[in-house]
Amino acid sequence: MNITSELKKIQQRNIKVEAAKNWEVSWTRKIIIAILTYFVIVIFFLITGLPEPFTNSLVPALAFVLSTLTMGLFKNLWLKFVYKK
Residue 84 has pLDDT above 80, yes or no: no
pLDDT digits (tens, 9 = 90+) for 1-58: 688 889 999 999 999 999 998 998 898 998 999 999 999 999 999 999 999 999 999 9
Q: What pTM was computed for the model?
A: 0.72
CA proximity to 69, closest of 40, 35, 27, 38: 27
Domain ranges in the chain?
A: 3-81
Q: Residues 60, 61, 62, 63: is their CA dihedral positive or negative?
A: positive
pLDDT digits (tens, 9 = 90+) for 57-69: 999 999 988 888 8
DSSP string, 49-62: T-S-HHHHTHHHHH
